[in-house]
Amino acid sequence: MTTINRQQLIDAAIDARTRAYAPYSHFLVGAAVLIRDGRVFGGCNIENAAYPSTNCAERVAMQSAWAVGARDIVAIAVVADTPGPVSPCGGCRQVMAELAPHAVVFLTNMHDNWVETSVAALLPGAFDPNDLPKK
């Protein structure tokens, strides 16, 4: 990757998970994205009583990076307390496909089980800006 290793990125996701706001599902998720320049942005899931207003950890992390101009996401780690490595929802996969299409993705859990994958493997045939009509 770049200046940090897989475990450091996973640790950043675990740290982000501690700030999750999940009073309804009690399903805490953390994520961390690594930018090519070495910066790491964390994200946690933030629920809302109006469920469609809930934000997933992966999207919070990616959008936090983009909000400050960090565009070159090279890796993403996602963690939850699941039996096996957690898997991102479809919405997060779609956002990954647009904001971090070439990122390495580490899916993990709180029991040190992890897999390495890619955005393309998580969402083959993703809808992207090239699919939209041209002006």
Asked whether residue 51 is domain-assigned, the answer is yes
pLDDT in tens, 32-49: 999 999 999 999 999 999
Domain that holds residue 73: 6-124
Is residue 78 a part of any domain in this protein? yes
What is residue 112's predicted lDDT score, i.e. its pLDDT? 94
pLDDT greater than 90 at residue 77: yes
User: Domain tally for the chain?
Assistant: 1
Question: CB–CB of 45/55 below 8 Å?
Answer: yes
Query: Which one of the listed residues 47, 58, 98, 116 is annotated catalytic?
Result: 58
Evaluate if pTM is beyond 0.75: yes
Distances (CA, A) of 11 to 7, 18, 42, 71, 132: 6, 11, 10, 22, 38
- Residue 58 is a catalytic residue: yes
Q: Tell me how far apart the alpha carbons of residues 118 and 82 are, in angstroms, rounded to a whole number.
A: 20
Output the domain CATH number for residue 82.
3.40.140.10
Q: Are 119 and 106 in contact (CB under 8 A)?
A: no
